Amino acid sequence: MELNGTTAIVSGGASGLGEAAARELAKAGALVVIADLSEERGRTVADDIGGLFARTDVSDEASVAGAVAVASRTGHPLRAAVSCAGIAWAARTVGRDGTPHDLGAYQKVIAVNLIGTFNLMRLSAAAMAATEPADADGQRGVVINTSSVAGIEGQIGQIAYSASKGGIIGMTVPAARDLAAVGVRVNTICPGIIDTPIYGDGPGAEEFKAKLAAPIVFPKRMGRPAEFGQLVRALIENDYMNAEVVRFDGGIRFQPK
Ligand SMILES: NC(=O)c1ccc[n+]([C@@H]2O[C@H](COP(=O)([O-])OP(=O)(O)OC[C@H]3O[C@@H](n4cnc5c(N)ncnc54)[C@H](O)[C@@H]3O)[C@@H](O)[C@H]2O)c1
């Protein structure tokens, strides 16, 4: 899919992986709509890359419909939707003190990470379906969803997060099959440990990140957000990539903790 002269929408585009993806797609010539809860940071990134900002809660139907409407009215066809909005949560199914996992917290993680991803995918794909095909294959757009290696080998205390990310992996093939009828491809990326604000900052965060990064196979460092942006762009630009779940993790395989 040629990105130059098109519109792309990126949820979570105000920070970390989404920001890096938004910057890369803008470099490729796309007008990028940053759909994020964080208004200040989202506007700054949008201004920086000549894009637009739409304050969005991905778990809310009307909110995402509004953002997709912004992306559909730019005068350039909507061709890419990248879901990066997500939240982390750490709690065991039954805590050490015998307390069961909070149900509201579990529901919130599923609502943002899994339902939010589906919400953006379904509404963007419907908008793409209304555009003219971009090429002789009848292609109209590409959806990139962000899961995690925790969706494959979840660690202790990751039950809610892993369930949400495993759900995104599970949607990949059926979504690609459904959306073939409207010329939309779907791919999912499973990052390992990438250096973004999700881990916080300060000495405690640095120590935590060093511990997480220790089992990375090669290169022996955390991934860089720009490397994620590169992969998003490659998966969009390569027309034969479809229904795929790609690990992006320097070879790490998560241990139980
Ligand atoms: N950084 C990593 O190591 C890593 C690894 C695996 C998966 N991931 C996934 O990648 C995605 C991006 O993570 P990141 O590391 O860039 O985190 P981040 O915290 O830097 O960025 C997440 C962004 O999502 C936005 N957001 C949160 N809830 C939202 C909502 N309801 N609606 C709209 N926007 C919302 C935040 O405002 C923020 O801008 C997440 O889904 C995360 O689970 C990250």
Q: Is the CB of 11 under 6 A from ligand 1?
A: yes
**Protein residue closest via CA to atom 32 of ligand 1:** 57
Q: What pLDDT does residue 68 have?
A: 99
Residue 257 has pLDDT above 90, yes or no: no
Best of 9, 11, 17 for a ligand 1 pocket test (most atoms within 8 Å of beta carbon): 17
Q: Which two tokens stand for residue 13?
A: 């585009």
Domain ranges of the chain: 7-248
Contacts of 77 (CB under 8 A, 6+ apart): 6, 7, 128, 131, 132, 134, 140
Tens-digit pLDDT profile for residues 100-120: 999 999 999 999 999 999 999
Q: What pLDDT does residue 128 have?
A: 98
**Protein residue closest via CA to atom 26 of ligand 1:** 85
Q: What pLDDT does residue 160 have?
A: 98
Cα end-to-end span (Å), the chain: 40
Q: Is the CB of 12 under 6 A from ligand 1?
A: yes
Tens-digit pLDDT profile for residues 194-248: 999 999 889 999 998 998 899 999 999 999 999 999 999 999 999 999 999 999 9
Q: What does the alpha-carbon distance between residue 35 and residue 68 come to, in Å, rounded to a whole number?
A: 9
Q: Choose, from 106, 161, 199, 240, the residue flagged as catalytic.
A: 161
Give the pLDDT band (50/70/90) at residue 150: very high
Kindly state the average pLDDT of the residues 160-173.
98
Determine the topology of domain 7-248 in CATH. Answer: Rossmann fold (3.40.50)
Q: Is the CB of 9 under 6 A from ligand 1?
A: no
Tell which atom from ligand 1 comes closest to the C-alpha of 161.
Answer: 43
Tens-digit pLDDT profile for residues 16-43: 999 999 999 999 999 999 999 999 999 9
Give the pLDDT band (50/70/90) at residue 191: very high
Give the pLDDT band (50/70/90) at residue 91: very high
Share of the chain above pLDDT 90, in %: 97
**Known catalytic residue: 161?**
yes
